[in-house]
Chains A and B, each alone.
Chain A
Amino acid sequence: GQQVMQIPQYQHVQEGEDFTTYCNSSTTLSNIQWYKQRPGGHPVFLIQLVKSGEVKKQKRLTFQFGEAKKNSSLHITATQTTDVGTYFCAGHPTQGGSEKLVFGKGTKLTVNP
């Protein structure tokens, strides 16, 4: 079945260091979405990428969608303690049920002040 792999599973950084999480799908995705879940919280939508090769920026966060629409990355520049949480990628497969959002396993980010 459809699988979305995400690495690393955990990442611990010093405040000010950069952070990147990678997402890879076994099949082509029509879109990729990124969510952030703070400890004890719920997933919060960050962004959606739709076009092949698309790059979007939100302040210190840079999101990329691969040319083949099978992989994506989230890069955070100069992490802050407020960046702590688990980052999930999620996508809708091109084939099959369009309403099913498939989540990656997430990358848990901890930031040492």
Chain B
Amino acid sequence: DTEVTQTPKHLVMGMTNKKSLKCEQHMGHRAMYWYKQKAKKPPELMFVYSYEKLSINESVPSRFSPECPNSSLLNLHLHALQPEDSALYLCASSQSKGRNTEAFFGQGTRLTVV
């Protein structure tokens, strides 16, 4: 199984809502990532987890809250988002957080904030 599975595929939420994005991988990878991708732009790193511990937070606003319950799961909790947060949210995993490791991306959650 070389897949990274993300749910939901699409999400529309209001600015007062609370929602969560989920990501799962069963490749035994110990590094997991959240990226944000706006249209016609490259993926932009948000968070890195290594061995279930938060390793990097790229100065992401607190309305985005990551969680890594175990080595296979990664969540992104959303609260009080703004319309400009609408984007494709990609989860990725790699064997480790080090260099020379390829990243496997999930299909993404296309988020619209209304």
Contacts and interface: CB of A to CB of B under 8 A. Distances in A.
Interface of A: 30-31, 33, 35, 41-45, 48, 50, 88, 90, 92, 97-101, 103-106, 108
Contacts of B45: 100-101
Contacts of A33: 102-103
Size range of the interface on B? 20 to 34
A16 B107 CA distance: 30
Consensus secondary structure, chain B interface: loop
A31 B100 contact: yes
B100 A88 contact: no
B105 A99 contact: no
B43 to A, nearest CB: 6
Given A105-B41, A105-B42, A106-B42, A45 B98 contact: no
